[in-house]
Structure 1
Amino acid sequence: MRNTNYLRALNYLSQFNTRTMNRTNGLHHQIMQELLDLFSIRPHDFKLVQITGSCGKGSTAHFISSILSKHSYNHGLFTGPHLNHYEERFICNGEMIEQDEFSAIVLEVEKKLSGYHYEQEVGHMHVMIVIALLFFQRKGIDLIIFENGVGGKADPSNIFDPIIAVLTEITLDHSHLLGSTIEEIIIDKSCIIKDSTKYVICGMNNVQARNYLLKIEAHDPAAFLFFNRDYVNLIKQADETGSTFHFKSEHLLLENIDLSLIGTHQVQNASNALAVIEAFIRLGYEFNEYMIHSALKSVHIPCRMEILEKNGVKFLFDGAHNILEMKTLKKNIDLLGLPISTVILSISSNKDIARMLQAIEIANATYIVTPHPFLERNISRREIEEAFQTFETNNYMYNLNLEDTIKSIYENTKGNTFILVTGSLYLVGYVKSILFPD
């Protein structure tokens, strides 16, 4: 039974789901700094590994955290979005924040913000960052693995000075905020690189993004580590059980690393995490090869190509939410030969809906599109119908009563086929909670 304070905390946070962050003249950064001052949080008290990018941020963060936990390095992990519970975002040494502590911090935030002059301009990410830093501060944690929200400069966290800046794979995403070209997007995201940054992990294949970062490297004092230049991997095997690969950097030579996470893209994410470990080694940290292997194999992240079965019906849950991630998901579905009969998805506003659908086009599948859980990111039924006119199937529906529809699909699915749920981690977590309650 959820306690009263927890319900109050959830009710308070719900108001931020419909707010649009005001980034005019850097107001979101001003507000972030003022909030930290209000709560007596000094960001310079923390050593930050700050992660931005279009794809793979969360997985990379979890891989890093698992390795640090295995070696008993005290640290905090902040990620987002959550699947079912806000507490999933705030982890200290591998342990999620307790419900009572979470509730107390949220209600403290509510009380202090009630008199703040920009209270109505405070966004969802502002509040998440305050909760995270208060939690880590009170746990005596100074090393934080921090997953950015949208972009670099576009994110409130751009007031941070990370010791290690990580840029994962880059693609066109959130173009309404970051820009309509790869160069505009990487310019925004690369703003996490500060004067105090010691190492920059450039973990993408995108040529335009790499070229821009190479220009920065030429005059930046930080050491830049590029994927497929300063660290490399070799995939040996990939199937429904995960992947096996080799990894090499200056101080690491690891063979036959096993991942339980499905999809070859996770090898790139794990390699980026290992590049961070390479940076830690150069900073004086010590790591054991066996423990690194064990840590990476143990990582399980719900709803990242997660396959579950219930009474003979198979489900594939994946939080892909941009065109590149959809293409990667489809590539892995084809590689593994998974027969998808139904696709349940939600697409956020300001996305190229038609190209998102084309990226996940599966012959003879039925598509069920549902509104986005965040109202500010919702798209209309008309937009969905227009997008499907460019698609080669009319076998789709726009559904508002998702819970009943999910149960109906589940009860009527027969044979060796999969139901794919994708497009938004919020949606994926919601559907999973209906079918596989805690």
Structure 2
Amino acid sequence: MNTLSDWLAHCERLHPKTIDMGLDRVKAVAQRMGLSFECPIITVAGTNGKGSTCAMLESILGQAGYRTGVYTSPHLVHFEERLRLRGEAVKADELLPSFARVELARTADGDEISLSYFEFTTLAILDCIAQAGVDVAILEVGLGGRLDAVNILDADCAIITSIDLDHMELLGPDRESIGREKAGIMRTGRPVVVSDPIPPQSVIDHAAAIDAELWRFGRDFNYSGDKQQWSWAGRDRRYSGLAYPALRGANQLVNASGVLAALTALREKLPVTAQAVRNGLAFVELPGRFQIIPGQPTLVLDVAHNPHSVAALTANLDAMGYYPTTHAVFGAMADKDLAPMLARIMPLVDRWYFTDLPTPRAASAADLQARCQALNPGVASASALFADPLLALRAAVAAADPADRIVVFGSFYTVGGVLKEGVPRLQAQHLKP
């Protein structure tokens, strides 16, 4: 296996299950590898806001002069996006030695251990971070927390973002069950920042049960603000007159508040200046999170894919002002709670462009249209079906007037299918004369 594509194809063939909850196998391979970190580790779990939280941590710590290693998933276009070293996506060739080390450990002494695609790639990325000599590792937890592969490491600080209903077949039927799984990333005696303003009681109870150092939104830290600026206050620290984060959306202040709480909790290990905080929030970037591509018609990209994130997207769209027509390119996974997602955003959408996605988990464009029609029969005459997101976007651009708005949402695959064109080309294609 000489290329990253070879290794990823190998990983896809290894294990009978796409998702296989449990840490025994991945922990055994990590031990064979001697995987360990000399730097502080921050883990980030939650239903929504994980990517934004990781990006803000990375930006502020980078501005403070630290060499950062950031693992997030899934990717939008290229696998290499899952690992950023010092603010840049890793080169494919840099990953190859780590994939080889995982394979060597996995098959050592003829005692082969089966790993899922996610487990194998997570170990390779963690190994690459450990080998890179970074000053801090920022690790997004993929699914749940307690049994996620990232949780084989003991974090110096854990962050739990907003918790909502998602992946219920694996994590449980309600917020309390899901919160209990997320709480598994906590460690005794170490800080855990809970930035969800109304967290499940199971999260609070677990922190008390294991004696973690709980930092809770609204009690240990909070924010206030007006239209021009915002301020943050936490334990023995305050930031005033901050510019709003470069990531758009009202929900980003909640995420930013959790980030500042984590950095305050870690100030002995990772001190940062107020200027690093200001610059980090001002310059942070994260594709696909209420990302507005300049041009006409207005183009908004958002990976919102569950009721909570679609509610945030709807609120952000509503705050943008008046557009004669809103066109929506929508593709989603079949296992999502689609009815509340569609019901929430439907009053803002005038025309729908339903798209198939390149994964067996996805709902077909026809199925999405049928579900939408069940909520609003008028959708039948105001919608069309497409084989992929880029075709759907091109149809929306052709139909839209310059003053209109196009929203692409529903899945990482939907937004990624559009972003594979590259932002400059995308911008050029959707400009109206």
Output the TM-score relative to the length of structure 2: 0.88
**Alignment partner, residue 202 of structure 2:** 212
Please give the root-mean-square deviation of Cα atoms over the aligned residues, in Å.
Answer: 2.7
Letter in structure 2 aligned against 1:434: E
Pick the aligned partner of 2:297 from 299, 313, 327.
Answer: 313
C-alpha separation between the residues in 1 aligned to 2:205 and 2:103? 44
Deviation at residue 401 of structure 1 after TM alignment: 4.4
C-alpha separation between the residues in 2 aligned to 1:423 and 1:84? 15
Q: For structure 1, which runs of at least 5 residues remain unmatched after alignment?
A: 238-242
Q: For structure 2, which runs of at least 5 residues remain unmatched after alignment?
A: 426-433
C-alpha separation between the residues in 2 aligned to 1:284 and 1:105? 28
**Alignment partner, residue 62 of structure 1:** 55
Does the CA contact (< 8 Å) of 1:160 and 1:192 recur in 2? no
**Alignment partner, residue 125 of structure 2:** 132
Equivalenced residue count is: 419
**Alignment partner, residue 263 of structure 2:** 277
- Percent identity over the alignment is 24
**Alignment partner, residue 433 of structure 1:** 420
**Alignment partner, residue 407 of structure 1:** 394
What do the CA deviations read for 1:236-257 (whole angstroms, capped 9, x no partner)?
22xxxxx731111123211221
1:234 correspondence with 2:221: no
**Alignment partner, residue 39 of structure 1:** 33
1:378 correspondence with 2:372: no
C-alpha separation between the residues in 1 aligned to 2:390 and 2:317? 25
Letter in structure 2 aligned against 1:301: L
| 1:16-415 equivalence runs, <5 A | 19-23=17-21, 28-42=22-36, 45=38, 47-106=40-99, 109=102, 113=106, 121-141=114-134, 143-195=136-188, 197-207=189-199, 209=200, 211-237=201-227, 244-258=229-243, 259-281=245-267, 283-310=268-295, 312-337=296-321, 339=323, 341-363=326-348, 365-375=350-360, 377-380=361-364, 383-392=367-376, 393-394=379-380, 395-415=382-402
C-alpha separation between the residues in 1 aligned to 2:206 and 2:389? 47
**Alignment partner, residue 240 of structure 1:** none
**Alignment partner, residue 431 of structure 2:** none
Does the CA contact (< 8 Å) of 1:319 and 1:424 recur in 2? yes
State the SS of the aligned residue for 2:230: strand
Letter in structure 1 aligned against 2:213: A
Q: 1:216 to 1:113 in 2, by over 3 A?
A: closer
Deviation at residue 429 of structure 1 after TM alignment: 1.9
4+ aligned runs moved over 6 Å, structure 1: none
Deviation at residue 103 of structure 1 after TM alignment: 3.9
What do the CA deviations read for 1:188-227 (whole angstroms, capped 9, x no partner)?
11011123x51010110235x1x33333344443221111
C-alpha separation between the residues in 2 aligned to 1:59 and 1:285? 20
Letter in structure 1 aligned against 2:143: V
C-alpha separation between the residues in 2 aligned to 1:381 and 1:412? 19
Does the CA contact (< 8 Å) of 2:329 and 2:389 recur in 1? no
Q: 1:437 to 1:15 in 2, by over 3 A?
A: farther
C-alpha separation between the residues in 1 aligned to 2:15 and 2:29? 19
Q: 1:118 to 1:181 in 2, by over 3 A?
A: farther
**Alignment partner, residue 424 of structure 1:** 411
Does the CA contact (< 8 Å) of 1:49 and 1:164 recur in 2? yes
Does the CA contact (< 8 Å) of 1:153 and 1:188 recur in 2? yes
State the SS of the aligned residue for 1:62: helix
Q: 1:305 to 1:251 in 2, by over 3 A?
A: same
**Alignment partner, residue 8 of structure 1:** 6
Deviation at residue 436 of structure 1 after TM alignment: 3.2
C-alpha separation between the residues in 2 aligned to 1:424 and 1:16? 26
Does the CA contact (< 8 Å) of 1:366 and 1:396 recur in 2? yes
Does the CA contact (< 8 Å) of 1:354 and 1:390 recur in 2? no
Letter in structure 1 aligned against 2:203: L
What do the CA deviations read for 1:319-365 (whole angstroms, capped 9, x no partner)?
11110000010011101225352111221232111112112213452
Deviation at residue 266 of structure 1 after TM alignment: 0.7
Does the CA contact (< 8 Å) of 1:21 and 1:122 recur in 2? no
C-alpha separation between the residues in 2 aligned to 1:117 and 1:366? 56
Output the TM-score relative to the length of structure 1: 0.87
